[in-house]
Amino acid sequence: MKNLCLIPVAAIALMLGACSTSQKQTAATDVPTLKDAFKDSFLIGAAVTPACTDGIDHAADSLVSLHFNSIVAENCMKSEKINPAEGVYDWKDADSFVDYGTRHGMKIIGHTLVWHSQLAPWFPVDSTGKYVTADVLKERLRNHITTVMTRYKGKIHGWDVVNEAILDDGTYRKTPFYDILGEEFIPFAFECAAAADPEAELYLNDYSMASPAKRETYIRIINDLRKRGIRIDGIGMQGHMGMDYPDFDEFEKSIVEYGKTGVGVMITEWDMSALPTVNTGANVADTAAYNKMLNPYPDGLPEDIDRKWNDRMGRMMEMFLRHSDVITRVTAWGVTDGDSWKNNWPVRGRTEYPLLFSRSNEPKPFLNTYLSK
Ligand code: XIL
């Protein structure tokens, strides 16, 4: 369990269930929550791990159940996890994720059905390791999508059907799906998904969505799907950000332009690295200097960086609120800084500060504006 001393008293009371009735009432009514703060604007979500949904990580569990009305699976629904071999499904963590969201009345987001990364190795190849034919891959995609979606039919609010299909220059990423099926893999996946669960929302999801070339391609894909009568309900703009990206104006333009297509716009996977953007090619001869450059703040963020980070996050949040007419959900990629994937990406073992809650489970200062309203 994380450092309990630093968790707000009301949250501890909720976690342990060890308080008197009057204290419980105080906790229920007095703790300002993110889901209340944004209830008239959009859903507010977090990516969660099995440690949270199994109740092992009590701190994450208490923050998620208190503050968020939507969750997304950080890893447990990716094909390498849920469908590790042909015909073999591992439902354990995904079941626990869906049960957790159901118990808490949350909008549950499935992530992700078709993605080249964390792809089960068997998926695009035959027993000799060569790519399968287009027909075989279609069959495998249909089986995978249908099996996974059917298990959670009626429980999952929306699915990231296809993840990260387009490169920053607007061309298709050369993945096994693209290599074997060409551009048609996207419409095919959406058709399979719509047939498997007619009620679930279906999304495209990608990063670098401020890129004008990428924006143009996604708008073309959305329009093309609709013209062909294939359902798409939303576009997820992954919000992996840093201290020097994205270009705020272009990001905002993407929100507006995606919104004009008529599909819902979601800010997914929101986090903002507080560390300098890594230049792995940097020519730094001295190892200690190199490590310091990669991991400059192992003991906490300097005040000026912390202020700048909060300022940028606050400006982003204001941008999301300005466009709450088209933004349906804002989801953080994790809960507290200590749990973030950014501590290990793009370099392992960094101390990062990218999320909405600190390592001691406190909301970051930029959220105070909303939590005190
Ligand atoms: C990341 C997870 O957070 C890590 O735990 C995992 O090791 C790698 O994947 N884009 C996505 C997410 O769509 O699924 C990725 O999640 C982050 C980038």
CA distance 348 to 357: 21
Q: In 3D, which of 38, 266, 271 has the Cα closest to residue 158?
A: 266
- Examine the pLDDT at 131 and tell me if it is beyond 80: yes
Global pTM reads 0.92
CB-ligand 1 contact for 341 (6 Å cutoff): yes
CB-ligand 1 contact for 74 (6 Å cutoff): yes
Has 164 been annotated as catalytic? yes
CB-ligand 1 contact for 75 (6 Å cutoff): yes
Exposed e or buried b per residue across 85-117, where buried means at least 16 C-beta atoms within 10 angstroms of its C-beta: eeeeeeeebbebbbebbeebebbbbbbbbbbbe
Over residues 74-104, the pLDDT tens digits come to 999 999 999 999 999 999 999 999 999 999 9
Catalytic annotation, pick one of 74, 191, 201, 269 = 269
Has 199 been annotated as catalytic? no
**pLDDT score recorded for residue 263:** 98
* In contact, 81 and 118? CB cutoff 8 Å: yes
CA distance 290 to 296: 10
Of 108-122, 179-193, 200-214, 280-294, the least confident: 280-294
Bridge partners, residue 206, by sequence: 237
Q: Which of 341, 344, 347 to mutate to test the pocket of ligand 1 (most atoms within 8 A of CB)?
A: 341
Over residues 7-26, the pLDDT tens digits come to 443 444 344 333 333 344 44
Q: Which atom from ligand 1 is nearest to the alpha carbon of 205? A: 13
